[in-house]
Amino acid sequence: MKKKVSIIGAGNVGASLAQLLVYSGICDVVLFDIVNGVPQGKALDLSEACPLWGSSINITGTNDYKDTAGSDVIVITAGLARKPGMSRDDLLSANAKVVADVAKNTCQLSRDAIFIVVTNPMDVMAQVTLKVTGFNPDMIIGMGGILDSARFRTFVAWELGIAPEDVEALVMGGHGDQMVPMPRFTTAKGISITHLISEDRINKLIERTKNGGAEIVGLLKTGSAFYAPSASTFQMVKSVILDEKRLLPCSAYLNGQYGLKGYYAGVPVILGKKGVEKIIELPLNEQEKSAFEKSFEAVKGLVQNLNTMGG
């Protein structure tokens, strides 16, 4: 029996993720959206591509949450996208209402599902999903670290003039302005970039990584990034569905790791069919530890602000 993945939100990220999943053939897909006709039309379009891709999966477009019942993975992409001049945090209140509604309507239908949260501000939205579902925190994961690390990998590869696949990067902390790229743990074929790139140039690459989403928003003017976010989410879904146990940077609920507790933050995790199967604790130096804790406190502050607003 095929695994089932439900994508909530049929916008650019959701539809692009659906395309990647359909093309891969690893699971059946349900594409949900509140707008009548949009998920149905995109699902039909993708179904008609299946013969060309050699894919035999089923994809359903729907406006009914009942069609998501029995999902192995639920991906939340629904919500407002960033516009020029907006930070991820500006989306806080509006998207919290959307994500809470999604979590409420899906969790009772799929009690064993792993939730992957994409909607921004992502770390806070993962916290909202946790609160609404009451699930084990290991079953709810935020997508951000993979995307941020992919952007860092891209910029490092361009700087060195090498293939992006030869770069492994690590970005920790919240998925926002307080993200913490980790040059010591970023390597080109096992060689730390601190041995290959000057500190000044590394700092410039870090700044571009932090502003990676905003740079794309500024260029598009009418939307936000979706190719890299959907590819990042696909990597997470694949690791869960196939129980690959990939070591990936994801937003996970900290329960004492790194001396922090009670909120989500980007850390290296082992991702498998049970969700976050282990959080890897790295030996951070004082500068890295301080930056990570500052990022954690920023996420904590947003959650508390949302609670104050009644979210």
Handedness of CA 157, 175, 14, 236 (dihedral sign): positive
Catalytic-role residue among 42, 88, 153, 175: 175
Length of the chain: 311
> What integer pLDDT is reported at residue 91 of this predicted model?
77
Burial annotation 44-61 (CB, 10 A radius, 16+ → b, else e): eebbeebeeeebebebbb
> What integer pLDDT is reported at residue 176 of this predicted model?
80
Residues lower than pLDDT 70 in the chain: 82-89, 310-311
> What integer pLDDT is reported at residue 92 of this predicted model?
87
> What integer pLDDT is reported at residue 308 of this predicted model?
79
DSSP, residue by residue, 59-82:
EEEES-GGGGTT-SEEEE--SPPP
Please tell me whether the peptide bond between 121 and the residue prior to it is cis, using omega within 30 degrees of 0. Answer: yes
Q: Which of 114, 24, 125 is nearest to 77 (CA)?
A: 125
CA distance 227 to 283: 33
Sorted by where each begins, the domain ranges of the chain are 3-142, 145-308
Q: CATH number for the 3-142 domain, one of 3.40.50.720, 3.40.50.10860, 3.65.10.10, 3.30.360.10?
A: 3.40.50.720
Query: What's the fold here for domain 145-308?
Result: L-2-Hydroxyisocaproate Dehydrogenase; Chain A, domain 2 (3.90.110)
Each residue of 81-115: pLDDT tens digit?
A: 766 666 656 778 889 999 999 999 999 999 999 99
Please confirm, yes or no, whether 195 is among the known catalytic residues.
Answer: no
> What integer pLDDT is reported at residue 83 of this predicted model?
67
Q: What pTM did the predictor assign? A: 0.95
Each residue of 165-199: pLDDT tens digit?
A: 999 999 999 988 789 999 999 999 999 999 999 99
